[in-house]
Structures are given as structure tokens and as C-alpha cells.
Amino acid sequence: MLPKKTHFIGRILLQLFLAIVAIIQIYPLIWLMFFSLKDNSEIFSGDVAGFPKKFLWSNYAKALEDGNVLTYFNNSVLVTAASIILVLILSSMTGYAITRMNWKLSNTTMTVILLGMMVPIHAALLPLFMVLKNLHLLNTYWSLIIPYVAFGIPMAVFILGSFFKGIPREMEESAVIDGCGIYKTFFHIILPLIRPAIATVAIFTFLSCWNELMFAVTFINDAHYQTLTVGMMSMVGTYITQWGIIGAGLMITTVPTIAIYLLLNKQVQKSMIAGAVKG
């Protein structure tokens, strides 16, 4: 009976510890929500982390209308969605061609693509600016989509390529015997098998594009094309700043990230488990 009692106490302590860790991780989000419902007088009164005395839901309306957050939000959604779609299409086809097809320069091509993971965005900032300027792409959505896709492909090819290698070749041989062409085999048989890896790539690409600031603030000056990260920075006034409204804008910015994770977290967990088993 003693080992069972010890095991029970150990489980209770473990669950208590995990609950504390979860609260610590979630608290910044709760603090931001409280912060977004206050005005400047309450924020600077010394009770920054406390419960709002009055819920100022009007901060969200002002952020969407006066702060132009809705335009920034739509721009971020457009740029991020286009980047994710292009990264998934290009990287999945590239990874499949490199890992599943036999040709001489496949390993060399894989090495060259993976070298892109070693290039920091700061080193590419000035060359990219000059190229985009010469192509007359500055202050357009493409000035962000093209660099995001270029920097997202190496990691995506690395992740998807490792999953392609784990698929038995007998499945492709059976598909060919049944009359499937290369494209039908790829889209209808291979891609459904790597859905966890696709979800992982989608989340990584989403986070890198949604939260990116360096390219967004350098390549776009027109407010019509600015994304949320630049828009939030521009809301800080020269003489007075409505911090509650900025908090509301940051809360709106955070919601899609939480939603994407809740939708795809099971696929990411499957991806991690599959990677651990392969390792």
C-alpha cells in the first residue's frame, strides 16, 4: 500500500507543479487583457497588473477604427496567408523531388537550400532593399511575401524532407501499378501522410511572418500596406500615447496566434512524436 500512496502523492505534486507552470505561462496574456481594458490614469496609478476598475471595451473599438488596426490586421492576414501557401507548395514539391527522386545533384541541391538557414535577415536587409527597389516592388505586398517565402523554404524543406524519407517506397510503387501519375501520387497519397509535418511548417511560417518587424518597417512606408507589427509601433504618439488602446491592438494581434495553435496543436504533437520515434 505504501508504494501506491507514494505514487499518488507524486502524481498530485506533479500536477500541482504543472498547474503552476501553466499559470505562469498564461499570466502575461491575462495581464495584457486587463491592460487593454484600462485608461492611462488607471495604468499609471500604480495598479498596472491589477483587475480593471472599469472595463473599457471602447478601447477595442477605438483601436479598430481610430488606430487603423483593422487595416493592419487585414494586411498581416493577406501577407501571412500568401507566404504560408507559397512556402508549403514550393517546399513540399522541392523536398519530394530531392528525397524521393533519383538524380545526380539531389544532395548538392539539398545542401545549398539548407545553407539558407544560416543567412541572418540583417545581412540580407540591404541587398533585398536594393533588389526590391530596382524591381519597383517597395510599398507592395510582394516586398514582404517574397522575402518571407525565401527565408521560410529552407526550414520547411528540412522538416518535410525528413518525413518524406520515412515513407515506404512500396506505397509509390503500388500507386504507379494502379495507374497513378507523379502528380496524383504526390497530392493524393504522399501529402496526406505528412499532415503533421505540414501543420508544423504552417505554424513556424505563421509565427515568423506574423511577428516579423525588420522587413516590414524597412520595405513599406505606405500605411495602406503596413502590417500589424509596424502599425502597433506607429500608434505610440509623439506627445501622448493611449496605452490602453495599444494594449487592445496587441490583444487583437495575439488572438490569431492562439487560434492557429489551438487548431493545429494536435498535428504538431504528432509531428514531434513521429520525429522522436524516427530519431
**Is the predicted pLDDT of residue 91 greater than 80, yes or no?**
yes
Residue 262 within a domain: no
The overall average pLDDT reported for the chain is 85
Is residue 31 domain-resident? no
For residue 88, the enclosing domain spans 67-235
CATH number at residue 127: 1.10.3720.10
For the stretch 105-148, pLDDT in tens is 888 999 999 998 888 888 889 999 999 999 999 999 999 999 99
CB–CB of 165/101 below 8 Å?
A: no
Note whether residue 44 is domain-resident.
no
198-237: burial string, b at 16+ Cβ within 10 Å, e else: bbbbbbbbbebbbebeebbebbbeeeebbbbbbbbeebee
* Cell numbers given for 128: 533585398
The answer to whether position 41 is within a domain reads: no
| Domain membership flag for residue 150 | yes
Q: What is the pLDDT of residues 138-154, one digit of tens each?
A: 999 999 999 999 999 99
Predicted pLDDT at 30 = 87
Grid cell in block for residue 145 = 511575401
Q: How many domains does the chain have?
A: 1
Q: Which of 105-109, 227-231, 254-258, 265-269 has the lowest mean pLDDT?
A: 265-269
Residue 195 lies in a domain: yes
Question: Within 13 Å, how many C-alpha atoms sit on residue 119's CB side?
Answer: 19
Mean pLDDT of 236-248: 74
Q: Report the C-alpha gap between 266 and 262 in whole angstroms.
A: 8
The CA distances from residue 251 to 66, 146, 226, in Å, are: 16, 28, 18
pLDDT (mean) for 246-259: 86
Q: Categorize the per-residue pLDDT at 169 as very low, low, confident or very high, splitting at 50, 70 and 90.
A: confident
Question: Is 250 a member of any domain?
Answer: no
Q: For residue range 171-219, what is the model confidence (pLDDT) as tens digits?
A: 888 888 888 888 888 888 888 888 888 988 998 899 899 989 899 999 9
Whether residue 256 is contained in a domain is answered as no
CA dihedral 88, 91, 97, 99 (to 10 degrees): -110
Neighbour count for residue 163 (Cβ, 10 Å): 24
* Average pLDDT for 242-259: 86
